[in-house]
Amino acid sequence: MTITMTVFLVYLALLAGLALWSRAESRTLHGYFIAGKKLPPWVVAFSTNATGESGWLLLGLTGMGYAVGAQAFWVVAGEVIGIGLAWLLLSRRLKRISDQHDSITVPDVLAARFGDSLHLLRGLSVLIILGMVGAYVAAQMVATGKAFAGFTPLDYAQGVLVGSAVIIAYTLVGGYKAVAWTDLIQGVLMLLGLLVLPAVAIHAAGGWGTVVATLGSADPGLLSPWGPEGKSTAALVGIVSFLAIGLPFMGVPQLMVRFMSARSEKSLVPAMTISVIVILLFDIGAVLTGMAGRALFPGLEDPESILPLLSTELLPPVLAGVMMVVVLAAIMSTVDSLLILASSAVVRDFLQRMRGSLRDDRQLATAGKWVTLLIGAIGIVFALQQSPLIFWFVLFAWSGLGAAFGPVLLCALWYPPTNRQGALAGMLGGFLTTMAWVIWFKPLTHDLLEIIPGFLVGLALTVGVSRITAERSD
């Protein structure tokens, strides 16, 4: 047995323990989907960050640091601003209104805020969530299979099955509580890895001065905030897009539920501090890892392979095994949260609220577990096929959810005149604009990130339609 597999089995035992510890909470609807709203600040903070970052942080942002150098620090700024604004503008007000109306999902909150007796907002929310989450889950399972194949003796199909089985099992048994506490452990591991690995890589390269000199001689653009392309329209669009990467933090339902699950509104204040500091350390560590990796191993065909390469080349076998498990765990932390999100949309929003199911609390929680299993099984089927279409959907799943829910939530919590018609227009307009931008317009605008037009259109429609319909009703 390899060291990596040994470390993974130890981690697996830890997950099993957390799932069993959380089992009692998962027997009720509130417990299974939102941990009874009892999570402490540090769990809420790390769960928010781990769910929002995950495998993209460890592979994507390190690869970006490798590819474009200092320009990737704009992503750091964008994410810190985005998560900071989410905590400042949304967390406490969202927690307050969710507690007032006993809401356990984001559609619950919107339905209560706008008196959605016809379930139009709730129905649209469910459709958007299931459409985006379904493709996202399948794609993350593809990534899980590839990670297992790259880091362990398992082949791709075995990796998909093993990784998916682990995720589905602890999510079924422990529900949202197990997911959140698992995110805490994953977040701590990610933080430690992104503190240790860049330090080791910079030392191996001869110190930060040597890294800077090496990158500068290879391409001065790697040290410029404009990036390797230099000052240009494309570089400016790239910077704006990097800054906008944090916008979806202010709306994606899988993160909003973290705010709602806190034990109290007051506990969100320390959680915010922890979250912002940790995400700053996350992102700086990832970019520095990529830059140091470029100095050590120039010419890689796949920049996103730099973290695994540095781990195996520079760290002792045990620590390298830990880093590989951190990558696997980070990918897995996205899937479990998405499974809970999709399951809650089906059971709470569709079955209980829209269809008026008369099942008791325990029966609905059990139904939630069956839905989790079903969605997970569908994701496995698509992952085993490795359909390229899945990855195409992932390009805008994050932005699509953010553009659909972000503007509406901001207006719902901060702009009292917002009404149901405006919320419907904003949600649908933001979502469709994001889709259209990726399909037709993105290549024509130097790849401007789709969340920018999607968020702006969603915000304009929410405010504009609310005002127009209010004037007509007067």
Taking only the tens of pLDDT, the chain with its 474 residues reads 577 778 878 888 888 888 888 888 888 888 999 989 999 999 999 999 988 886 778 888 999 999 999 999 999 999 999 999 999 999 999 999 999 999 999 999 999 999 998 999 999 999 999 988 887 788 778 878 877 776 777 888 998 898 889 888 888 888 899 889 988 988 898 899 999 999 999 999 999 999 999 999 999 999 999 988 888 998 999 999 999 999 999 999 999 999 999 999 999 999 999 999 999 999 999 999 999 999 999 999 888 889 988 988 999 888 888 888 888 877 777 888 888 999 999 999 999 999 888 888 788 888 888 988 998 898 888 888 866 555 556 667 888 999 999 999 999 999 999 999 999 999 999 999 999 998 899 989 998 999 999 999 999 999 999 999 987 655
Whether residue 229 contacts residue 359, with contact meaning beta carbons closer than 8 Å, is answered with no
- CATH numbers and ranges of domains, the chain: 3-386 (1.20.1730.10)
pTM, whole model, 2 decimals? Answer: 0.92
Sequence-separated (6 or more) residues with CB below 8 Å from residue 318: 3, 7
Distance CA 397, CA 171 (A): 22
Q: Phi/psi of residue 109, each to 5°?
A: -65, -45
Q: Phi/psi of residue 65, each to 5°?
A: -60, -40
The closest of 197, 224, 213 to 290, measured between CA atoms, is 197
Q: What is the pLDDT of residues 264-297, one digit of tens each?
A: 999 999 999 999 999 999 999 999 999 999 999 9
Distance CA 174, CA 177 (A): 6
